[in-house]
Chains A and B, each alone.
Chain A
Amino acid sequence: MSDDPMEHVDPIEPGLGALFREERARGHAPAASKERVARRVAQTIGGQGGSDGGKDPSGSAGEGTTTTTTAATGATGGASQAAGVVGAALSASRVAPVLWAFLAGGVAGGVAGATLAPPRVVVVERPARENVRPAVPVTAAAPASVTQPGSKVEELPAAVPAPQPSSAERDRDLGRNTALAREKGLLDVARSALGSEDGDRALAAIDRHTSEFPRGQMREEREALAIQALMMLGRHSEAADRGARFRQTYPHSVLAPVVDAALSNVGATDVRGFDAGE
């Protein structure tokens, strides 16, 4: 039996899993695309250095990070033309020799990823309860500076049109998304309260969710949060009972590791009702 909690995650539907596996094999950009973008990146980096009096573009976070899509977009339409224009631009003395090296070695090299290897194979640590913190925007770890894509979008032909949903379908989807947003908002409050060690407030938000969405799309998340809140409040017996029901209702839940971690804080894992090696 492995300690990997991901073994208890509900496997993805076979059909959907097959689609993702096929998509995984399609992760290659056209070779010419790589060369074009390499030249444009080199040009942009060189342009930044030339325009800011030689400041190191790494600078401090948020400084010296201007991107130049607008300038670069002019080279988008035709590859060979773009290469010519960019090549001429690169002849300017402001581009440092290291960028020539970047172009010469980087594009055609195809160096295997010896130092920057892909992510490790699935190994997820057992989650600790302190991992439950208020959610932060997904952009928190992302860069601050943003530019807009190219300006010629409207001039290009449209993609192959896909079947459009009917108005009834759109209305249904809209209503579902609105309800989901409301559900998510309530549970975010609970999550945030847990992160602040405020079990009472978390439980209040969870109760409200139960009242408003007894059969909501996120009731599985609600139950997992409720178990954590009860444990935080020292109501271990209630948490164990609820944990047992959680395991019965969602025997292969992706949230099982989170629930287990919460209950295991007082050795209450037996409530799962089945052996971990199942």
Chain B
Amino acid sequence: MLVVDDERSEEFRRLFDDNYDYVWSSLRRLGVQARDLEDVTHDVFVEVHAKVHTYDRARPIRPWLFAFALRFASDYRKLARHKTELRGDADGPTELPSAEDVVVMQERARILHAALEELSLELRAVIVLYEIDETPMKDITEALGIPLHTGYSRLRLARAQCAEAVRRLTARTGGRQP
């Protein structure tokens, strides 16, 4: 018989409810393909459930969750079968209307994801947390277990490499610079 106290279960339920989109999106931004997102998101939350008692409530929850997502995304990317097909999967299973402006937005999203795909995972984690999640650098470095200096350094490198990749990918596809 499963022994789970109600308070902990309620906490996890709320955590899942409030942060499902965040974990799902973070995994996507870390390179997990749309078709595998549910599998990996499931794995993350099962692990979070097992470790939720270690969460320090004095700290923001999302960088803590991101560390789980990063670990699972890292192992996901190590699987050879994923490596050849990591690009061009920007919008996941979400179905969007086929208006022209949406097509343009999808193309811009695809370029951004392709550019992120060229970064190492450690650079990618910092730029996703900083530029998309708007997480303070102090919280980023605490969640990732790196010195503040390293966090800023990775942000700088990630921005430079990402900008270069966006320029190159945009030129290759004949599009305008974003």
Q: Which residues of A contact B (CB under 8 A)?
A: 6, 9-10, 12-13, 15-20, 22-24, 26-30, 33-34, 36-38, 40-41, 44-46, 49-50, 54-59, 61, 64-65, 67-69, 72-73, 76, 93-96, 98-99, 101-102, 105-107, 109-113, 115-125, 127, 131-143, 145-150, 153-154, 156, 158-163, 173, 191, 195, 217-218, 220-221, 224-225, 228, 253-255, 257-258
Contact = CB atoms under 8 A, between A and B. Distances in A.
A95 B2 contact: yes
A101 B139 CA distance: 32
A27 B21 contact: yes
B172 A116 contact: no
A121 B83 CA distance: 35
Given A67-B42, A139-B67, A220-B156, 7 more contacts: A37-B41, A45-B4, A76-B38, A99-B9, A106-B16, A134-B147, A135-B146
Contacts of B144: 138, 140-141
A41 B159 contact: no
Contact of A142 (B50, B70, B152, B157): B70
A148 B74 CA distance: 11
Dominant secondary structure at the B interface: helix
A222 to B, nearest CB: 10
Given A30-B94, A146-B72, A218-B157, A124 B17 contact: no
B133 A119 contact: yes
A244 to B, nearest CB: 20
A26 B12 contact: no
Contact of A131 (B34, B136, B148): B148
Interface of B: 1-6, 8-10, 12-22, 24-25, 29, 32-43, 45-54, 60-64, 67-68, 70-72, 74-76, 79, 81-82, 85, 87-89, 91-94, 105, 108-112, 114, 118, 121-122, 125, 131-139, 141-150, 152-153, 155-157, 159-160, 162-163, 166, 169, 172-173, 177-178
Contacts of A257: 148, 152
A6 to B, nearest CB: 7
B50 A146 contact: no
A4 B37 CA distance: 37
B4 A142 contact: no
A119 B135 contact: yes
Given A28-B21, A67-B43, A76-B39, A162 B114 contact: yes
Contacts of A112: 18
A56 B8 CA distance: 11
Contacts of A55: 3
Contacts of A93: 1
Contacts of A40: 38, 42
B71 A135 contact: no
Nearest to B7: A98
Contact of A258 (B10, B43, B148): B148
B147 A131 contact: yes
B57 to A, nearest CB: 9
A118 B62 contact: yes
A118 B135 CA distance: 9
A94 B47 contact: no
